[in-house]
Amino acid sequence: MASLVFGQGGNLRTAGAPAVEYDRSLAWAALLLMALGLVMVYSASIATAEASRYSGQNPAYFLLRHGVFLAIALSAATAVFLVPMRYWQKAAPWFFAGCLALLILVLIPGVGREVNGARRWLNLGVASVQPSELMKLAVVLYAADYTVRKHAVLKKFRRGLLPMLGVMLAVAWLLLREPDFGALVVVAMTAFGVLFLGGMSGRHFGALLAMLAVGFAALVLSSPYRMQRILGFMDPWSDAFGRGYQLSHALIAFGRGEWLGVGLGASVEKLHYLPEAHTDFLLAVIAEELGLAGVVVVIALFTWIVLRAFVIGRQAAMRERHFHALAAQGIGIWIGFQALINMGVNMGLLPTKGLTLPLMSFGGSGLVVNCVALAILIRIDWENRQLARGLNA
């Protein structure tokens, strides 16, 4: 592989070749989200860390761990950027199969680690891995590869849609066994979004959405726990100390923040009132401390990342690099949809769901996988620019 160096002005070039720019606006948007996330994770977790026996009452416990996760994530992203996309396309089915095996492995008693009634983690000693996070990336790459391979028959139900539907039902069953309903929603919408962009029949897509809606409704109705979350979301104040506890305190945080917030570090809700303040409800702490202005900045940065993903995908499609195009747009769907759900939950627009805010919330697996996905996205853009200059990608 040709060696890569940085030229003046942040341009990326291959030794002995003309300078080729990378998408600096995309990279900066992601870096700003990660930097803001690091600061806000520290602010949101101080009280929790001081009260936890696992942290040794060290207020910087979560900051240090998140900093290590961030360093690992950036290192992994740098390494992944150097891998040409043709290798990702070849490896997509095998990567998906490996992630499927991890989803099975995590359900084995004594192997998967159980926390709060959910078995979602594999303990590696120094850290834990969450296979459902890896599956989100695997589904993007597998769906893109499947769509390209099956494009000639994609509009046919039996030969085109049915095999993918069977695979996704297997993934859904494994995720529900953990259970991880939030990851299931993101994985399903991402996979079928990629299929739709790749040319799935509109009639089949509509029928599939109807099936998903019926399936999700059945899952909610069959589970008292999920039903309580729905009822708590519809009127959190009717049981503010029970099923509506998290949402009511998140809304209080948004209300206290007003336009410019109460100031960095001055949140009251993070002082053991708002559960999961440094993970699922990080945006509520941002709203309280930085106000509407801080929330708008976060939304704007995520919007820019999603827009750039679709533009990069369109540019790849124009060069007849269809796997690259669908992978880029699939990453945009995944990051944007998960961020939308997390924000909707924090603002009381959607039922409470255990999904973190991409690139920002505390958590090693999610942060590493998000950074790897963005590295792949930047790689696709870089290869597009090489082709535009007549270079080999």
Closest listed residue to residue 353, CA positions, set 149, 176, 182: 182
Q: How close are the terminal C-alpha atoms of the chain, in Å?
A: 10
The length of the chain, given as a count of residues: 393
CA neighbours closer than 13 Å in the CB half-sphere of residue 34: 25
How many Å is the maximal CA-CA distance in the chain?
A: 68
Quick one: pLDDT band at residue 220, thresholds 50, 70, 90? confident
Q: What is the pLDDT of residues 138-183, one digit of tens each?
A: 999 999 999 999 988 888 888 888 899 999 999 999 999 998 989 9
**Dist. CA 120–CA 98, nearest whole Å:** 16
**Dist. CA 265–CA 336, nearest whole Å:** 28
The answer to whether 288 touches 254, Cβ cutoff 8 Å, is yes
Q: What is the pLDDT of residues 23-60, one digit of tens each?
A: 999 999 999 999 999 999 999 999 999 988 776 778 99
Strand partners, 115: 118
Instruction: Write the CB contacts of 140 (distance below 8 Å, at least 6 apart in sequence).
Output: 190, 191, 194, 327, 330, 331, 334, 373
Phi/psi at 120 (nearest 5 deg)? Answer: -125, 0
Compute how many other C-beta atoms are within 10 angstroms of the C-beta atom of residue 6. Answer: 11
Q: What is the pLDDT of residues 68-126, one digit of tens each?
A: 999 999 999 999 999 999 999 999 999 999 999 999 999 998 888 887 778 889 987 77
Least confident of 223-227, 235-239, 357-361: 223-227
Strand partners, 13: 5, 19
* Whole-number pLDDT of residue 363: 87
Q: Measured in whole angstroms, how far is the alpha carbon of residue 182 from the centre of its chain?
A: 11
Quick one: pLDDT band at residue 392, thresholds 50, 70, 90? low
What is the residue-averaged pLDDT of the chain? 89
Q: What is the DSSP string of 67-124?
A: HHHHHHHHHHHHHHHTS-HHHHHHHHHHHHHHHHHHHHHTTSBTTEEEETTEEEEEE-
Please give the C-alpha separations between residue 97 and each of 141, 182, 245, 346, in angstroms, as whole numbers: 12, 21, 39, 34
Please give the C-alpha separations between residue 113 and each of 98, 117, 254, in angstroms, as whole numbers: 19, 10, 34
Query: Which tokens is 253 given?
Result: 């945080």
Quick one: pLDDT band at residue 18, thresholds 50, 70, 90? very low
Q: Measured in whole angstroms, how far is the alpha carbon of residue 354 from the centre of its chain?
A: 12
**Dist. CA 261–CA 255, nearest whole Å:** 9
329 or 54: whose pLDDT is higher?
A: 329
